Structure formats: C-alpha cells, structure tokens
C-alpha cells in the first residue's frame, strides 16, 4: 500500500513540475516578444493590392539536351541502330545442296567488340546524325552490323563474304524524303568534312572517284581518307536486308582516324570479335 501511495505522489509531482516548466517558457517567450515588438503605421494607396496575385502557370524552362534533339523530330542515331537484323524466324532456303539458316538475332549475339566493349566505328554514327541534322530528315539503317551467319543468309556471293558489315565498319541506309535524290545525300555526307575540325585536312576534305570496274555498283564510288561511299541504284545491291526497290547509300570506313590504321576485313575480327549468348 505504501509503495502505491509513493508512486502516486511522484506522478503528481512530475506533472506539476512539467506544467510549471511549460508556463515558465511561455512567460519568457512573451517577454522576448514584447521587447522586440515594433509598431508602425502602414499606409497604402487604394490602387495597391494587399495580396499580390501570381500566375498559376509554371514558367517555361530551357529545353534539356534530349529535348533539343527531339525538336529535330527524329531519334538520335546510336550504335543500337546497327544491331544485326537476323532473326531465327526468317525462313531457311536452299543454295545448291546447302540449306542456309539465318542467325538467332541480336538478342543472341553482340555487336563487334573492341577493348571488351560493343563497338561500331564512331564516324558512321556521326555521319548519320550529321545527315539527319543537315537534311532535317530521319535516317533508316537497313543494315549495320551483320554477324557472319546473317551476312551469308543475306547474300551468299563470294563478293559479300568479306563485307565490312561484319566488323561494324559499314552501313546501308536511306534518308526519308531523299529516296529518289541520293546525290543530295552524298553531298550532305561530304559536307560533314567541311566542318571546322577538318580544316586543313586535305585528305579528308577532298573526295575522289573510284574508277575501277570491279565492284557491284555502276556509279563510281566516292572516297576520301576516311570513308568509301557507294550508291546502289534501284536494281543494284539487293539482298535480304536491302530487299526494297529504292536506291540506297552505303558508307564503309577505310581508315580509323583514332588509331591511324587502315580498316580492312579480317576473318578473325568478323568471326571471333563478338559474343554469343
């Protein structure tokens, strides 16, 4: 019984103490408030509004970098556009006694690798984005990287067996709205080398024509130090990836300006430089 009375008294004492402390703090607060109080007459004209009214609309912000790209109305070209267009659903076909099958598609193999990373020659990506910007029209990549199996599926000819598509150094494409005027596309490619960074680089700025008649095009290709441009007319260069009736342009990389080396097809690079999943 004594213990219960002791606890009850302690509890009451705690409540009294805490309430006293609260009222002390309150008094102190009131003192500070009165000491700092300033009283001033406020005058205003009848035309002054007591409350300022702000627009409820959120102000316009400068565009983010990707929004500026969107303004061009076409997506920015990346190496993703170059992935192999093979597909295991594509029907097999007979070539002499051999049945030709397509690859399993880009979900089952990578792009070519360089330093353990997926790689497409950067100048191809830069050129295609330059075309989109210069011509203000979207580019369609019909053929970027081709794994060796898809390359053979597209075209079994000996000529195609050393295609630079297999090493990420060639691209076939169309520019929407320019399908019937590919010469304007070629002019736009050349304009890429008129940019400031190529000033004084004569080998990049001047293009020559390839005159030997040993290729699969009738129009003499154009080339400079870095790239080789082929124009396929409507009846030329048809294969599984370019199975349409329009002229198209192909760009090959001749020279890697980063490593200062010629770019040529090698069997090892084509067959052993990409991952299978």
C-alpha of 60 from chain center: 26
Exposure string of 44-61, with b = 16+ CB inside 10 Å and e = fewer, is eeeeeeeeeeeeeeeeee
Tokens 């020559």 belong to which residue?
208
Q: Nearest Cα to 251, choosing from 273, 271, 216, 221?
A: 221
Q: Please, what is the minimum distance in Å from the beta carbon of residue 162 to Zn ion?
A: 17
Please give the Cα distance from 189 to 205 (Å, whole number): 11
Q: Which is nearer to Zn ion, 147 or 186 (CB)?
A: 147
Q: Which is nearer to Zn ion, 114 or 201 (CB)?
A: 114
Residues binding Zn ion: what is the number (CB under 5 A)?
5
Segment interacting with Zn ion (CB under 5 A) among 97-105, 166-174, 193-201, 208-216? 97-105
Gyration radius of the chain's alpha carbons: 36
Please give the Cα distance from 136 to 68 (Å, whole number): 13
Alpha-helical runs (H) found in 64-147: 65-70, 122-135
Please give the Cα distance from 162 to 267 (Å, whole number): 8
Q: Which is nearer to Zn ion, 170 or 226 (CB)?
A: 170
36-75: which residues touch Zn ion (CB under 5 A)? none
Please give the Cα distance from 201 to 195 (Å, whole number): 11
Please give the Cα distance from 61 to 82 (Å, whole number): 34
Q: Please, what is the minimum distance in Å from the beta carbon of residue 123 to Zn ion?
A: 23
Query: Which of 77, 147, 167, 186 forms a contact with Zn ion (CB under 5 A)?
Result: 147
Q: Which is nearer to Zn ion, 119 or 178 (CB)?
A: 119
102-141: which residues touch Zn ion (CB under 5 A)? 103
Q: Please, what is the minimum distance in Å from the beta carbon of residue 149 to Zn ion?
A: 6
According to the binding rule CB under 5 A, does residue 227 interact with Zn ion? Answer: no
Stretch 150-169: interaction string toward Zn ion, x if CB under 5 A:
x-------------------
Segment interacting with Zn ion (CB under 5 A) among 36-44, 132-140, 149-157, 174-182? 149-157
Asked whether the CA dihedral 42, 47, 50, 54 is positive or negative, the reply is negative
Q: Which is nearer to Zn ion, 84 or 227 (CB)?
A: 84
Please give the Cα distance from 115 to 223 (Å, whole number): 28
Q: Please, what is the minimum distance in Å from the beta carbon of residue 84 to Zn ion?
A: 3
Query: Which of 79, 81, 82, 84 forms a contact with Zn ion (CB under 5 A)?
Result: 84
Segment interacting with Zn ion (CB under 5 A) among 22-30, 101-109, 114-122, 124-132? 101-109
Q: Please, what is the minimum distance in Å from the beta carbon of residue 173 to Zn ion?
A: 18
Q: Please, what is the minimum distance in Å from the beta carbon of residue 197 to Zn ion?
A: 34
Segment interacting with Zn ion (CB under 5 A) among 79-87, 119-127, 168-176, 217-225? 79-87
Please give the Cα distance from 269 to 263 (Å, whole number): 11
Q: Which positions touch Zn ion (CB under 5 A)?
A: 84, 86, 103, 147, 150
């Amino acid at each position: 019984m004594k213990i219960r009375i002791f606890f009850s008294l302690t509890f009451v004492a705690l409540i009294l103490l805490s309430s006293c402390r609260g009222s002390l703090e309150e008094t102190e607060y009131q003192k500070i408030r009165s000491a700092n109080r300033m009283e001033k007459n406020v005058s205003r004209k009848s035309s002054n509004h007591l409350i300022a009214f702000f627009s409820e609309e959120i102000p316009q912000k400068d565009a983010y970098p990707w929004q500026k790209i969107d303004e061009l109305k076409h997506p920015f070209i990346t190496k993703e556009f170059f992935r192999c267009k093979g597909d295991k659903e594509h029907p097999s076909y007979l070539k002499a006694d051999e049945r030709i099958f397509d690859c399993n598609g880009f979900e089952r193999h990578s792009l070519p690798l360089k330093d353990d990373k997926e790689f497409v020659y950067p100048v191809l990506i830069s050129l295609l984005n330059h075309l989109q910007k210069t011509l203000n029209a979207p580019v369609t990549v019909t053929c970027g990287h081709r794994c060796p199996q898809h390359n053979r599926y597209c075209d079994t000819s000996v000529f195609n067996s050393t295609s630079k598509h297999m090493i990420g150094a060639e691209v076939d494409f169309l520019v929407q709205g320019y399908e019937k005027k590919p010469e304007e596309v070629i002019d736009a490619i050349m304009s890429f080398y008129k940019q400031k960074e190529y000033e004084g680089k004569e080998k990049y700025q001047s293009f020559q024509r390839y005159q030997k008649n040993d290729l699969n095009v009738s129009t003499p290709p154009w080339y400079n130090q870095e790239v080789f441009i082929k124009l396929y007319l409507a009846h030329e260069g048809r294969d599984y990836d370019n199975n349409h009736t329009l002229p198209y342009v192909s760009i090959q990389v001749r020279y890697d300006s980063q490593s200062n080396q010629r770019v040529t097809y090698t069997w090892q690079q084509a067959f052993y430089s990409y991952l299978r999943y």
